[in-house]
Structure 1
Amino acid sequence: MMFIRTESFRTFLRLYPIISVIIAIHIFLWLLLLVPIPLTSFLLQQMVGFNYLIAEGEYWRLLTPIFVHGGFGHMLFNSFSLLIFGPALERMLGKFKFICVYLFAGIIANLATFYIEPLDFAHVGSSGAIFGLFGIYLYMVILRKDLINQMNSQLIMTILVIGLVMTFINTNVNIVAHLFGFVAGAIAAPLVLPKSSGHDMITIRRSIPTRPRLQIPKEFSIKHILWILLIILVIIGVFM
């Protein structure tokens, strides 16, 4: 299963530097929330996606909300969702394309929030960017089956159904950001995914040796079971 992590901490940092840096930023900014200093409070306030101030010309607020969260639980579940669902795409797309599509989805989500929600609407969180990753996965499930196996496809569809339901039944969710981040990821997918060689999957895997199609493990260990439970908990937490 492509969402189960078996790397050591050091190996994870080496293989997935972009995700590691993003999560480190999440944690650092959350720690700033705990520091009762006016300067840190001011800096964090400058990162909130407040529509009124964006309309006044503070356009950096279309980017900064992607990295800041409203509390420990918010930060924890978004970081874990990135840790679970991001590595396969960072490996497949490469560092540059991955960070570009991640930020693109997040910014599109925040732009849509700005234009659709009222001026007094304020928001934080990386959910729009993370939903962009889900958009890429859905594109793979539908149009690039050479890049994802059946088990992972079924898991992605299950996650998307849960996400769609929870997005609309919870009141404390930025529905606009989720939907437009997802659409942005799906639109960007054909531009960033590895090109098909026109041959069978074996040829594709051989032609891209450093970015292989990830396979199902032959046997599940206790570690695999724990990761599956963690994935379930993260899915529930992200959409609550």
Structure 2
Amino acid sequence: MIFIRYESYKSYLRYYPFTSLLLLANLVMFLIVTFDGGSNNVYAQLKYGALAVVEPFKSEWWRYFASMFLHGGLEHLFFNSFALLVIAPPLERILGSIRYAVLYLLSGVMGNVLSVSYYVQSSSDVIWLVGASGAIYGVYGGLLYIALFQQNKMDESSKKTLYTLLIMGAVFSFMPGIGWMAHFGGAITGFFIYGLMLRLFKGSRM
């Protein structure tokens, strides 16, 4: 079962350096925003990089990256951190930290781009967006590719766990206040990026 963490604190840092860095970055940014206005304060969030579907914010490219490290409330931070801590590490081991970082960050950015485009076109009342969910769903997308096409890399229990998470995530994505388009866009991006990397890096440990 690849989603059960057996590592000690030190070995976790050694095996999953980028995941560890992400966890730290998310926590640090949450504390900064919390003590400078509050994690549910739109002005504080916009100050540190929240996405918004109105100008001038939606044209500021850096927000599509920065918003991945912001969270609206402790519960939001907890659930994304849990997914990173437990579910993401196997993909970092399979891809290696650099390729894993590329997949994670591109999935998050693409999820944000699609999310903003969707909310602008739909005239939604959603004003601002934060969270690592798009990037995390990119990890899910990469793991789904493995479950479907590299079955020797994932045991049956892990596949069942992943499918259950994806089904629950799909249902959860359509609850009020959840950026479902970021989830969908991130998952699709992660799935295709993993497949592309598999072809680009033939002969590697992938």
TM-score (norm 1): 0.75
1:18 partner amino acid: F
Match among 151, 175, 184 for residue 179 of structure 1 = 184
**Equivalence for 1:94:** 96
Match among 125, 130, 133 for residue 131 of structure 2 = 125
In the alignment, the residues of structure 1 paired with residue 51 and residue 113 of structure 2 have an alpha-carbon distance, to the nearest angstrom, of 10
In the alignment, the residues of structure 2 paired with residue 74 and residue 130 of structure 1 have an alpha-carbon distance, to the nearest angstrom, of 13
**Equivalence for 1:220:** none
Distance 1:184 1:5, change over 3 A: same
**Equivalence for 1:218:** none
Question: Does the 8 Å contact 1:54/1:62 carry over to 2?
Answer: no
Aligned residue-pair number: 197
Q: CA deviation at 1:58?
A: 1.1
In the alignment, the residues of structure 2 paired with residue 130 and residue 56 of structure 1 have an alpha-carbon distance, to the nearest angstrom, of 22
Question: Does the 8 Å contact 2:71/2:77 carry over to 1?
Answer: yes
**Equivalence for 2:79:** 77
In the alignment, the residues of structure 2 paired with residue 135 and residue 4 of structure 1 have an alpha-carbon distance, to the nearest angstrom, of 19
Q: Can you give the 5+ residue segments of structure 2 that lack an aligned partner in the other structure?
A: none
In the alignment, the residues of structure 1 paired with residue 46 and residue 117 of structure 2 have an alpha-carbon distance, to the nearest angstrom, of 23
1:103 is aligned to 2:105: yes
Misfit runs of 4+, over 2 Å: 41-46, 53-57, 118-121, 191-197
Match among 149, 154, 158 for residue 152 of structure 1 = 158
Identity of aligned residues (%): 30
Q: CA deviation at 1:37?
A: 7.0
**Equivalence for 1:28:** 28
| Stretch deviating more after TM superposition (4-13 or 94-103) | 4-13
Q: CA deviation at 1:139?
A: 1.1
1:179 partner amino acid: F
Q: CA deviation at 1:44?
A: 5.6
State the SS of the aligned residue for 1:63.
helix
Question: Does the 8 Å contact 1:108/1:181 carry over to 2?
Answer: yes
In the alignment, the residues of structure 2 paired with residue 137 and residue 175 of structure 1 have an alpha-carbon distance, to the nearest angstrom, of 19
State the SS of the aligned residue for 2:54.
helix
In the alignment, the residues of structure 1 paired with residue 97 and residue 46 of structure 2 have an alpha-carbon distance, to the nearest angstrom, of 27
1:160 partner amino acid: L
| Stretch deviating more after TM superposition (26-35 or 186-195) | 186-195
CA RMSD of aligned residues (A): 2.3
* Structure number with larger C-alpha Rg: 1
State the SS of the aligned residue for 2:3.
coil
Q: CA deviation at 1:53?
A: 3.6
Q: Can you give the 5+ residue segments of structure 1 that lack an aligned partner in the other structure?
A: 198-206, 212-240
2:128 partner amino acid: A
Q: CA deviation at 1:167?
A: 1.5
Question: Does the 8 Å contact 1:92/1:193 carry over to 2?
Answer: no
